Amino acid sequence: MLNADEVAELVHYEREGNVVTLTLNRPEKLNAFSDELVMALGERLRQFDAEQDAHLAIITGNGRAFSTGADVHQRQLRSREEFERLGGPQGLGANSGDLLVKSVNWKPVIASAHGYVMGLAVGIVLECDLIVAEEGTQFQITETSRGLGAPKYWGLMHYRQAGAFGTEMALTGRFFSAEEALEAGVINRVAPKGKHMDVARELAAEVCKNPPLSVRATVRSRRWYMNKFSQETMMHSAPLKLYLTEDFHEAASAFAEKRKPKPFNGR
C-alpha cells in the first residue's frame, strides 16, 4: 500500500469547479506505469468518485508523453515464480483493468493525451468515457510485439466500433496517429499542438451542463457493457499464460537491454 505522500507525488489532484484533473507525474520515465503508479491512480480515482462537488475527471500526463505503458523493468522482468504467483505481469492490487470499472458513483472520465500512448496506457485511455488527443500523438499496442497478445485492446477497439482498424492495430502493433484514431472513430477530438487540455476542458464543460445523475446513468451502462465484453475477450487468452513463454521473456529482455530481439520461436 502507498502512503498519502506517495499518492500525492505520483498523481497530482486538482479541482476547478466541478472538474478534477488527475495528472500522471512520473515524467522522468515518460509516465511509465509501475505498480505504484497504477495504485496511485486508483486511489485518486476513488478520491474523485467520493468528492461530492466533483462531477467529471480529466486524466492527463506530465512531461513529454501521456504514458509509454507498463514499466518493463518492473512489471515484465519478474521471475517466473512471481509471474506464476501473481497470474501475470501486474503486482497485487495493481491491475489497470480495475481502474474504471469498480466505481461507486460512475462519474465520467476524459482522457487528455499527448506525445505517446503505448501499451497499458492505450487500455486506460480506451476505457475512459471520452478521449481527446493532441495532434500528432502516437499510439501503439506494444503487447503484440512483446509476446503478450492484444485481445483486450482488440476488444476495446471493437467496443468503440473500430473493427477493421482495431484488428489491424492489434495484429501489427504498429504506431498509429491521433488523426488515424479520429478517422476510425476511436477518439472524440484531435486538439491543436499544446491545446489538448483546453479542448478536454471544453468537452468537460459541455458534459457538466447536464444533470450529473443523468450523465452517470449513461456512464454506468457504458462501462458495464465495456467490462463485460472485455472480460469475455480476455477469458480466451488467459489460459495461454503468454507471460510465461520464451518469446515474451526474449522480447522484454531485448527491450530492457536496448537491442533487437532474437528470432521468435513460438515457445
In the chain the domains, ranked by start, together with CATH numbers, are 4-237 (3.90.226.10)
Please report which confidence band the pLDDT of residue 44 belongs to, taking 50, 70 and 90 as the band edges: very high
pLDDT tens digits for range 82-135: 889 988 888 888 899 999 999 999 999 999 999 999 999 999 999 999 999 999
Q: What pLDDT is recorded for position 234? A: 86
The 8 Å CB, 24+ separation contacts for 45-54 are 45/99, 45/100, 45/103, 45/109, 47/13, 48/13, 48/20, 48/22, 48/107, 49/103, 49/104, 49/105, 49/107, 50/104, 50/105, 51/15, 51/20, 53/15, 53/18, 54/15, 54/18, 54/19, 54/20, 54/107
Q: What pLDDT is recorded for position 90? A: 87
Question: Taking residues 167-194, what's their average pLDDT?
Answer: 98
Question: Taking residues 31-59, what's their average pLDDT?
Answer: 98
Q: What percent of the chain has pLDDT over 90?
A: 87
Instruction: Indicate the average pLDDT of the chain.
Output: 95
Say what the pTM is. Answer: 0.95
Please report which confidence band the pLDDT of residue 31 belongs to, taking 50, 70 and 90 as the band edges: very high
